[in-house]
Amino acid sequence: MSRIIVGMSGGVDSAVAASILVDKGYEVEGIFMKNWEEESEFCSAEKDYKDALQVCDILGIKIHSINFAKEYWERVFEHFLEEYKNGRTPNPDILCNTEIKFKEFLHYAKDLGADVIATGHYARIYHNNHEVLLKKGSDLEKDQSYFLHGLNQHQISSAIFPIGDLEKFEIRKQAKKLGFNNYNKKDSVGICFIGERNIKEFLQTYIPSKTGNIVDQNGKILGEHDGIMYYTIGQRKGLGIGGGHTNQNGAWYVLKKDAINNVLIVGQGHDHPALYHKRLKASNPHWISGIAPKKHTLNAKIRYRSNDVPCNIIELGMDNIEVEFKDPCFAIAPGQSIVFYDKDICLGGAIIESYSN
């Protein structure tokens, strides 16, 4: 391994990743990917490119620029819209990694003569005999293994994560020391390559909204929603339900989305029993090793920011998986991914389809 091409986003993480590889004496080049055809306050590709260019100038490395907007639209964004149309809550960052960053970018880098690619992900890679393992990043607050669970052995073995053992404060400190303009740049959040948006306003651009009723579990109409796609299970804010509907105090939460009848079902209180479930069914299980784990008692995340929780795989097939949790989980959302861990090793995951008690 001597020639490494780094995905340069314009952010501080990929910048420091590149600097680490340069310091180690590798032949390093950068690639800046533009994957969304819009220049706005949300998606500042021009500013990001300038930041990436400044870093590469300081490091004395060449930078390439490539446009994958067509591939991103067809393989990531169209799926994202379809999921929202169906009343689900997708996670495009996962598909962005499998289809763009570790497929299109990887292929392009290989064509440029790269031995491996590198990114600024907070995760770690270990080689165990003939298997490559994906582990959580050392900074558990920033760990991104959840978003990488869809990768396969070829993709992981073709990549390295130079900052996986570092914490965020160390990275910013190093970037400032090196004179990178982006040393204090805000972390990228929101939709992969599109940026942090008001999801309601953004979706209205692509999907016609259809108002409908907000009801309680007995069918009593409490208000009107702006479009079922704008809400997610467990959501509290933005429901627009005033007081006086019951004798109870407590905020209202989305319990269920009935996409067929265009109805949003809500209940009062964070502890509402309809928000907690012990079982879920998921589709399209993917295992990083290529083989389903023999051990069925594992930990899992049902969304990126959730804690690992103990679970047991009670049914496992080629296309479906059923999981039971030790304790009921809050706000399981169809469309999101359940990702499995054996301690700090990320094993893979599946797309949540339904939940039950």
Q: Which two tokens stand for residue 68?
A: 């994958």
pTM over 0.85: yes
Of residues 56, 96, 311, 329, which has the active-site annotation?
Answer: 96
Query: What pLDDT is attached to residue 1?
Result: 62
228 and 321 both lie in a single domain: no
Picking from 123, 157, 178, the residue at the C-terminal end of a domain is: 178
- Coil/strand/helix, residue 306: coil
User: What does each of the 357 residues of the chain score in pLDDT, given as a tens digit?
Assistant: 689 999 999 999 999 999 999 999 999 999 999 888 765 555 577 889 999 999 999 999 999 999 999 999 999 999 999 999 999 999 999 999 999 999 999 999 999 999 999 999 999 999 988 899 999 999 999 999 999 999 999 999 999 999 999 999 999 999 999 999 999 988 876 666 566 667 788 888 898 889 999 999 999 999 999 999 999 999 999 898 876 677 677 899 999 999 999 999 999 999 999 999 999 999 999 999 999 999 999 999 999 999 999 999 999 988 999 999 999 999 999 999 999 999 999 999 999 999 998
Same structural domain, 51 and 141: yes
Domain assignment present for 39: yes
In a domain, 57, yes or no: yes
Helix (H, G, I), strand (E, B) or coil at 36: coil
Q: Check whether residue 150 and residue 255 sit in a common domain.
A: no
Q: Which one of the listed residues 56, 192, 311, 346 is annotated catalytic?
A: 192
| CB contact at 8 A, 228 and 87 | yes
Cα 37 from chain centroid?
Answer: 21
Query: Which of residues 221, 242, 270 is at a domain's end?
Result: 270
Residues 248 and 141 in one domain: no
Q: Find the domain containing 289 and state its range.
A: 275-356
CA atoms within 13 A on the CB side of 252: 22
Annotated catalytic residue 56: no
H or E element in which residue 82 lies: helix 78-85
Task: Tell me, yes or no, whether 224 and 344 share the same domain.
Answer: no
Active site residue 43: no
Asked whether residue 10 falls in the same domain as residue 140, the answer is yes
